[in-house]
Amino acid sequence: MTKPRGLLLVKSGGDGAVPEWQAGFREFAPELLVRGWNDTSVDPGDVNYVLVWEPEPGRIAGYRNLRVICSSAAGVEHIVRDPTLPPHLPILRMVSQETSQTLGEYVCLAALSILRDFPRMIAAQAERRWDPYEPPHTALDKRVGIMGIGTIGQVAARMLGGLGFKLSGWARTRKSIDGVTMFSGDDELESFLSGCDILVNLLPDTPETRGILDVRRLAQLPHGAGVVNAGRGTAIILPDLVAALDSGQIGAAVLDVFEQEPLPAESPIWRHPNVTVTAHLAGYASRRARAAAVVAALEALERGETVRHLYDRVRGY
């Protein structure tokens, strides 16, 4: 097997994280040199790979021997916004088993929290009030719909299925997934939404998905449906969601991602009684797991194989 060799420059987690990245890569690609983004001893001509989070626009174009750009997270918006980015370079999204596992766990946590009204339990404890309410439903009565059922969504679906939820999925292209009632394309979005007791958004941020959950689409969900957003904040028009929560059209929401992060302190969402806010922490992977995922993808690229997590500039994800 051809192990990646050459020099990888890393900008993720600051200078303090460089030793951990080096240890991770040493384990999986011992011949790959790993240096920090601010290491002034690095000759730009020696850089073959970059692993980055929010690189300064213009900097990547200066590495003339660069072969692959790796994102240190699942999204690549922070890379592709650079107008000087060389168009021929492959861009690798970060998707590791750990990311899918942790995001799947988060989606289960959110779905169960909505099902059992966990915020009510927390509120009762805060007031030292004994509140032994009975749940009106079990997971067996509820359908969770995953909007953007790709790599992570399919792991989440398996985990939700294990809890007993009925499952639907919506994707851009038609596909069949065991145990999941599938929908695809704009024409089938309304039918998909109308069956979701709990909607989980896992769509990437693209021109087509931006603002997709607006007043019209939220109204197509069953009255009182739950909404979970662990994809990207840009998918939901937040004032439309607040209005839908206020009217009862949406019964509860669990939100991990926002158009503006950190969520501004003055946002009404923080204090909404039916909303749980988390700080973009749904999917997580250790540096070691991410190094392993990058090495596996670089090896596959070297062998000329199709790599699942390459960013497609035409599709936009």
Q: Which residues are catalytic?
A: 232, 280
How many CB atoms neighbour CB 82 within 10 A?
Answer: 16
Binder among 7, 95, 114, 295 for ligand NDP (CB under 6 A): 95
68 or 149: CB nearest ligand NDP: 149
For residue 10, which of 18, 2, 167 has the smallest C-alpha distance?
Answer: 18
Binder among 9, 33, 180, 282 for ligand NDP (CB under 6 A): 282
What the block records as the tokens of 54 is: 């929010």
Distance in Å, CB of 14 to ligand NDP, minimum: 19
Contact map string, positions 34 to 73, toward ligand NDP, x by CB under 6 A: ----------------------------------------
* 202 touches ligand NDP by CB under 6 A: yes
Distance in Å, CB of 187 to ligand NDP, minimum: 11
36 or 145: CB nearest ligand NDP: 145
4 or 153: CB nearest ligand NDP: 153
Binder among 24, 75, 104, 226 for ligand NDP (CB under 6 A): 75
For ligand NDP, which residue has the nearest CB? 150
Q: Which of residues 127-186 bind ligand NDP (CB under 6 A)?
A: 148-153, 170-173
Choose the stretch contacting ligand NDP; rule: CB under 6 A; options: 5-13, 57-65, 204-212, 240-248.
204-212
32 or 237: CB nearest ligand NDP: 237
* 206 touches ligand NDP by CB under 6 A: yes
33 or 76: CB nearest ligand NDP: 76
* 204 touches ligand NDP by CB under 6 A: yes
* 3-state SS, one letter per residue, for the chain: CCCCCEEEEEECCCHHHHHHHHHHHHHHCCCEEEEECCCCCCCHHHEEEEEECCCCCCCHHHCCCCCEEEECCCCCHHHHCCCCCCCCCCEECCCCHHHHHHHHHHHHHHHHHHHHCHHHHHHHHHCCCCCCCCCCCCHHHCEEEEECCCHHHHHHHHHHHHHCCEEEEEECCCCCECCEEEEECHHHHHHHHHCCCEEEECCCCCCCCCCCECHHHHHCCCCCEEEEECCCHHHECHHHHHHHHHHCCEEEEEECCCCCCCCCCCCHHHHCCCEEECCCCCCCCCHHHHHHHHHHHHHHHHCCCCCCCECCCCCCC
Judged by CB under 6 A, the number of residues near ligand NDP is: 30
- Under the rule (CB under 6 A), what is the footprint of ligand NDP? 74-75, 95, 99, 103, 148-153, 170-173, 202-204, 206, 208-209, 230-232, 256-257, 280, 282-283, 317
